[in-house]
Structures are given as structure tokens and as C-alpha cells.
Amino acid sequence: MCRSDVTDPSAESAYRVLARKYRPATFADLIGQEAMVRTLRNAFASDRIAHAFVLTGVRGVGKTTTARIIAKGLNCIGRDGQGGVTIEPCGECEPCRAIAEGRHVDVLEMDAATHTQVEKMRDLLASVPYRPAETRYKVYIIDEVHMLSTSAFNALLKTLEEPPEHVKFIFATTEIRKVPVTVLSRCQRFDLRRIEPETMLAHLGGIAAQEGAAVAPDALALIVRAAEGSVRDALSLMDQAIAHGAGETSAAEVRAMLGLADRGRVLDLFERIMAGEVAAALAELSAQYAAGADPLAILRDLAEVTHWVSMVKIAPEVADDPTIGPDERARGLDFAERLGMRALTRMWQMLLKALDEVGQAPNAMMAAEMAVIRLTHVADLPSPEDLIRRLSDAAPAAPGPAGGGGGGTRAGGAARAQAAPRPQAMARPAPETAALARYAAFEDVVALVRARRDMALLVEIETGVRLVKYAPGRIEFEPAPGAAPDLAARIAERLRTWTGARWGVSIVGSGGGATLAEREAERKGDLEGRARAHPLVQAMLAAFPGARIRDVRQPEPPALPAAEAEATGAEDDDDWDPFDPASEEN
């Protein structure tokens, strides 16, 4: 539960990784967290120190380091042994050195990812009532606090709400949303930010100079980009890059170490894809694969370039990122100017799908090649505006008036051109006439109701409408017994909504034919009667007493060879009847 990193004197000359060697010891060494340092400085100066802190942020931004610095500031006694609480611990007194080495008895560190059980929390809290043995404050540092169980959080709540004056709690977490609100409300929260690229570049450059390592600026830029704002990740990557480069590290070596494709070649591939040059794009992809680039990494780099170009198109100042080289910046600005946002967003969506396919495909290179083929074929698709413009340009010109041949004067031509209406004002058929032309018969109206899936209205029309007269836009019917009184009004309203045209639906007292349901029932009854009269059906009913006919379906007429159909005139035989012996003979 208590971390113990006592340094062995015999190991003092052993190499320490950069992330540990250059770990901040004071708030002055902590980079990129000025807002938090200012708040803590004011709190310490005014003696308004909270009893509990929660530090949140992504990995490697200094949460645990900040917790140790706070613990040192609370317990520092100065070089002369007479100091008090300070925001600038000396780092030389016994408490400061013991806390830095993780061996102070009054500063207890616990990894909540390892000790999640409530029993561990109870053991830790059992020592809370006792005063510190050597310092003024007993400090409990709990890392990855979001990993604690619900019971462990509940055990902590009461102590956290009313802690003794000599106790301070410092929590660190990367998942602040998983910490219960009841715990957060009892803590002073600090959000540690990702380190900005400019700050990170300057920090890594200073450490490389102290180490006497020659790391190229573009190599540092690659490391900063890969670290994604994490100081610890950046230092670990630079440590590895220095060893990889054997004293002199270039961007090519860092790119090979990280498994990245050459950024310039990724831009070349991006350019060939967006130009629709499928053969050249596949050749470039194969060349990068032969050079050792991972197909998945290539597609990820393409997605990153697509996102970056899109951002540059919206906000050109994004190109001023210090981790971007001048050549890459110039090409990105050129892409942003030439490419449309639709093409970029389409490529982004297709690349996301391709990244999923690479993991499922039996061969990653095959999946990458198929993705490049798809991307090149859709890259030069015209936008809807361009397509409309091309269709408008390709439309044939309207013929001139009768008698106005090629002998017309220039003035007459100019007059006709001036009088020609603009496309928006050109004469069109009446909208209601055009809308109603599709419904020549009442069956078309019924099909519309069925297509709109208004089953309730469809049933009412089939059972309650006895049609008297129909014309497109006009329906007259006699209501069947049981039909709703407002059926006509609802039919008119629905048809107007669906077709955009006005419909006149009226009710008359007599003259209506059978409803659609009655006609269908009559048809089925006729089919069933004819089926019962068929000898084969009679034989089946006799062989199976109690059997009944549930449905009768009329099959399609048998197809005849073309020559025979033409000779017999039966190519389109609508009179074929499966229950007619004459039809069977034919």
C-alpha cells in the first residue's frame, strides 16, 4: 500500500530513464499547468488549503508528480529546519527528500487499480485518527482513484467529509466521470491540461541539450506529435529515439522507430488518391509497404492528413502548428484551397470504414489496396451543384419561332435572348395537373394509400367505399354500412398531403358499386367454388375427411416457346384458367 523506492547506494551510477531523471521536483519545474499553480500558490499564501484535492487529466501530464509536490510543500521545513508550509519546497530537507524517494512514513501512496477492495480502504483509514509521526500533515495519495469499488468509496466518504486537521487527501485519476459525485463534491478539483506543442518542443530540446544528444528538430516534432500532449510519453519516446539513433537522431530514424510512413510520401499518396489516379496510388502504396510501412499505419496517416486538411480549409491558422514542417504546411494549404469539403468528408468516412476492414481482412495489404481503389474512384465525383450545372449546360436549346431561320437579324436574336425567361421563371405545367397525372384510376389511389402504410385508412377504403365516379382529383362514392361519417374528409386531407394537390371527395346517396373487400371476397368465393368442382380437389377432400380449403391461389400461366406462342397467339394469354380442362389441354 505504501510505495517504497529507496535508492540503493550501489545503484547510484545506474542509468535512469529520462522520464524519471527529469521528473519535476517543484512547481517551477512543472510545465504547461500555470492555472493550477497560480491557484495553489494563492491558496498556500492565504492559508486556505483544502483538505482534499482531486487531480484529473490524460496520462503523463503530471498528476502524481503534482501530488508529491503538494505533499512536499505541506511538510517542508526548509534548509534551516524552521520553515513552514510553502508553495516552493526546498527539496533538501529530510521530509522533502523522503517524500521524493517515496519512503516518508506520513505520506502514504496507494494504487487504487491494485487495491480496489473495501478492506484495503479500511486498513488505510484506520491510521487517519493518529497524528503524523514526523511532519505537520499526514498525506494520503490515491492514484487512479476511479478504480475503487463502490464499497470502498462509501467507506471513504465519512472520513473525507470530516477529516482531522492533520490529514490531507490527494486523488489522481484519468477517468473523472467514474468518480462518484459525492466524492467530487468534497474535493477541490484541478484539471491538468495536455501540454501544448510549442511548450513540449522547447522542453524536449532543453533536455536533449543537457543530455548531449543531437536530435533533429523535425525528429522532435514527430515525437511531440506521437506523444499527444503527454510529457512522460514524449520523454520515453525521446529516450528510445536517442538510443535508436546512437547519438544523432534524424526524423527518418524516429519515423522508422514509430512505424510511421514518410509524411511526404503520405501526402503524395493523398494527392494521387484525390486526383483519381488509381494506378499511381496503388504503386505508391506498394512502394511504402515495400519500405516497411504498415498498411494500417498508412491508412491512419491518410485519415490524419484528411482531418488536418479539412481543419486548414476551415481555419487556415491551423497550419501554423510548430510540429508541421514548412513543406508539409505549403502542401496542406494548397490541398485546402483546391479540394472541396464534400470530397474531404467523404474520404474521412470511407477511411474510417477501411480501418475497420483491415482488422477483419485475411491480409491487411489487400484491404488497404481495395480501400485505395474505392477512394480513387469516388474522389472525382462531381458535387450536386456541379452535376446540375453540367446538365443545364448540356440541355438542348429551345427552337426558334416559325419562319425565324438563320436569316434572322442580330437585333432580332438579341431581342429573343433578352425576352427568354431565366430558368427559375420558365413556364412549367400546373403543379396540380402534374401531380394528379399519376393517378389515372382509383386503383392508383388505393396503391398510394398502401405505399404510405396507412393501414387503418386502407381498410376503411376497402370496406366502406362504394365507388360511383372517379377522375384524377375527384372521387364520388356511396358509403357502405358502418363507414365513418368523416371518411370523405379524411381521404381528401390525406391525398392532399401526399400528392400536394387538392382533391374533391364527395358522398352520394346511391349508385355505388361493390366495395373492394366485397369484390375480393366474391373473387375468392368463385375461385374456391371452382376449386371444389375440380376432380382432383374432390378426391383429396374425400381422402381426408374434415379437411377444408383455407386459400386458393391462381398460378401464373405456363410459359410457351417464342415460336409456339407466336404461332398459337398465346403469347399473352389472360384467359388461362387452371380449373378449365380446355386450358389444361392447351
- Render pLDDT for 397-435 as a digit per residue (tens, 0 to 9): 544 444 444 444 444 444 443 444 444 433 444 556 667
CATH number of domain containing 340? 1.20.272.10
- Where does a domain end: 360, 388, 416? 388
Residue 528 pLDDT > 70, yes or no?
yes
Mean pLDDT along residues 527-544 = 80
Whether 405 is covered by a domain: the verdict is no
Residue 45 pLDDT > 90, yes or no?
no
- In angstroms, the CA 86 to CA 47 distance is 10
* The three-state (H, E, C) secondary structure of 490-513, written as one string: HHHHHHHHHHCCCCEEEECCCCCC
pLDDT in tens, 362-405: 899 999 999 999 999 887 776 666 666 666 665 555 444 444 44
Mean pLDDT along residues 28-45 = 87
Q: Do 232 and 371 belong together in one domain?
A: no
Q: Do 49 and 163 belong together in one domain?
A: yes
- Where does a domain end: 355, 388, 421? 388
Whether 7 is covered by a domain: the verdict is no
- In angstroms, the CA 560 to CA 531 distance is 25
pLDDT in tens, 335-355: 998 888 888 999 999 999 999
Cβ neighbours of residue 584 under 8 Å, at least 6 residues apart? Answer: 578
Cβ neighbours of residue 462 under 8 Å, at least 6 residues apart? Answer: 446, 515, 516, 517, 520
- Where does a domain end: 473, 489, 513? 513
Whether 35 is covered by a domain: the verdict is yes
- In angstroms, the CA 303 to CA 296 distance is 11
Cβ neighbours of residue 509 under 8 Å, at least 6 residues apart? Answer: 478
List strands edge to edge, sheet with 138-143: 107-111, 138-143, 167-173, 52-56, 188-191
Extract the C-alpha cell encoding 422. 431565366
pTM: 0.56
Give yes or no for a contact between 523 and 531, defined as CB atoms under 8 angstroms apart: no
Q: Do 355 and 464 belong together in one domain?
A: no
Q: What is the pLDDT of residue 55?
A: 92
Whether 60 is covered by a domain: the verdict is yes
Instruction: For residue 488, give the nearest of 465, 471, 472 by alpha carbon.
Output: 465
- In angstroms, the CA 42 to CA 49 distance is 9
Whether 205 is covered by a domain: the verdict is yes
Extract the C-alpha cell encoding 314. 476551415
Q: Which of 191-195, 288-292, 297-301 has the lowest mean pLDDT?
A: 288-292
pLDDT band, residue 248 (cuts 50/70/90): confident
Cβ neighbours of residue 204 under 8 Å, at least 6 residues apart? Answer: 215, 220, 223, 224, 234, 235, 238
Q: Do 23 and 156 belong together in one domain?
A: yes
- In angstroms, the CA 531 to CA 546 distance is 17
Instruction: Give the other-Cβ count within 10 Å of 540's Cβ.
Output: 12
Q: Kind of pairing, strands 167-173 and 138-143?
A: parallel
Domain limits for position 268: 261-388
Q: Do 61 and 174 belong together in one domain?
A: yes
Whether 562 is covered by a domain: the verdict is no
Whether 156 is covered by a domain: the verdict is yes
Q: Which of 116-125, 132-141, 394-403 has the lowest mean pLDDT?
A: 394-403
Q: Do 169 and 235 belong together in one domain?
A: no
Q: Do 187 and 290 belong together in one domain?
A: no
Distances (CA, A) of 188 to 49, 183, 191, 196, 318: 9, 10, 10, 24, 34
Q: Do 146 and 221 belong together in one domain?
A: no
Residue 148 pLDDT > 50, yes or no?
yes
Residue labelled with grid coordinates 531523471: 21
Q: Do 50 and 162 belong together in one domain?
A: yes
Q: Do 240 and 344 belong together in one domain?
A: no
Say whether 367 sits in a helix, a strand or coil.
Answer: helix
Mean pLDDT along residues 241-250 = 77
Q: Do 479 and 506 belong together in one domain?
A: yes
CATH number of domain containing 219? 1.10.8.60
If one counts the domains in the chain, the total is 4
Residue 327 pLDDT > 90, yes or no?
no
At residue 278, what are phi and psi to the nearest 5 degrees? -65, -40
At residue 248, what are phi and psi to the nearest 5 degrees? -135, 110
At residue 467, what are phi and psi to the nearest 5 degrees? -65, 130
Q: Do 235 and 98 belong together in one domain?
A: no
Distances (CA, A) of 380 to 269, 355, 396, 536: 15, 22, 26, 65
Instruction: For residue 2, give the nearest of 98, 107, 86 by alpha carbon.
Output: 107
Instruction: For residue 116, give the nearest of 96, 77, 142 by alpha carbon.
Output: 142
Extract the C-alpha cell encoding 166. 492533520
The two counts, helices (H) then strands (E), for the chain are 27, 10
CATH number of domain containing 87? 3.40.50.300
Whether 129 is covered by a domain: the verdict is yes
Q: By CB neighbour count within 10 A (0-12 exposed, 13-18 middle, 19+ buried), where does 393 fall?
A: exposed
Residue 17 pLDDT > 90, yes or no?
no
Query: Residue 292: beta bridge partners?
Result: none
Q: What is the pLDDT of residue 580?
A: 59
Cβ neighbours of residue 105 under 8 Å, at least 6 residues apart? Answer: 133, 134
